[in-house]
Amino acid sequence: MRVVLDTNVIISGLNFRGNERLVLELARRGRFELYLSLFILQEAAGVLTRKFGWSEERSTQVLRMLQSTAVVVEPQRILSVIEKNQADNQILACALEASADYLITGDRRHLLPLETYRNVQIIKRFSVSVSP
């Protein structure tokens, strides 16, 4: 199963306990195929340093670890599905490039209302058996 994580899921998983942290742990254990783009990784690094006070060194180290568990794809198409938010279009483009089954996001304003886009299910909660 192929999964793309929106930046907000990565940020929440790295900073708070809960479903998002579990999703990151499942990715680390290889319970699903994680797909990310350089845009997602760079956006996450920026948010971690600007909004959460992480040092650049710490955010780079953690995101490299995350990158090592993921397949990094670069979208070949530019989308304009969400008119007022190019960042969300880039997340969606990553999901399409990865042929993802799921895009996990906390974005209630732009992405979650789509529910599905070209066979990618857009969801907030993700459940997989946690056993090794």
Q: Which fold has domain 2-123?
A: Rossmann fold (3.40.50)
The confidence score (pLDDT) of residue 130 equals 40
Alpha-carbon distance 67 to 79, whole Å? 24
Cβ neighbours of residue 117 closer than 8 Å, sequence gap 6 or more: 81, 92, 95, 96, 103
Residue type, 106: G
The confidence score (pLDDT) of residue 78 equals 81
SS3 call for 77: coil
pTM of the model: 0.89
Name the DSSP letter for residue 30: T
Domain parsing of the chain, residue ranges: 2-123
The two structure tokens encoding residue 119? 């066979």
pLDDT tens string 75-131: 988 877 777 778 888 999 999 999 999 999 988 887 888 888 899 999 987 655 444
> Among residues 89, 50, 97, 48, which one has the least CA distance to residue 72?
97
